[in-house]
Amino acid sequence: MDPRDDLLRLDSQVCFALVTAARNVVAIYRPILEPLGLTHPQYLVMLALWDSSPRALGELARELAMEPATLSPLVKRLESQHLVTRRRRVADERVLEIALTPQGSALREQALQVPEQVAAAVGMDAAELASLRDALAPFAGRRTAAP
């Protein structure tokens, strides 16, 4: 048996572990976010807005590593839930500005329980989760394609 055979085993692949983990993360978050009325992608948008609001749609898309065309329907759904508003910037009407509503800001208080519930669901403490997050940094960075 060639010792290199293990290199191409499915369960030896980082890419497979990450794809599987990503799918499972969404499944873990689903029941935790349901009482908040948010999907996982909507939760990510709200996290970014709780950090800083209002924000231009393009800026928000860059921070979330999403295309504006993908983000736009998420924002529209959040607007229909009265959590955000979408308005053209007065100084530059090409810029769509996304801002939290009072209801969106208030939802933050309920969301403070989410990280603790996730930690409990996976059986890890905050330090272990932070270590895992930091270990994923090389894969989570916004990289450009190699020439």
Domain 9-126 has CATH 1.10.10.10: yes
- Whether pTM > 0.85 for this model: the answer is yes
Distance between alpha carbon 142 and the CA centroid of its chain, in Å? Answer: 14
Domain locations along the chain: 9-126
pLDDT above 50: residue 147: no
Angstrom distance (rounded) from CA 87 to CA 54: 10
pLDDT digits 0-9 by tens, 79-105: 999 999 999 988 888 889 999 999 999
Closest CA relative to residue 50, chosen from 110, 92, 90: 110
pLDDT digits 0-9 by tens, 21-39: 999 999 999 999 999 999 9
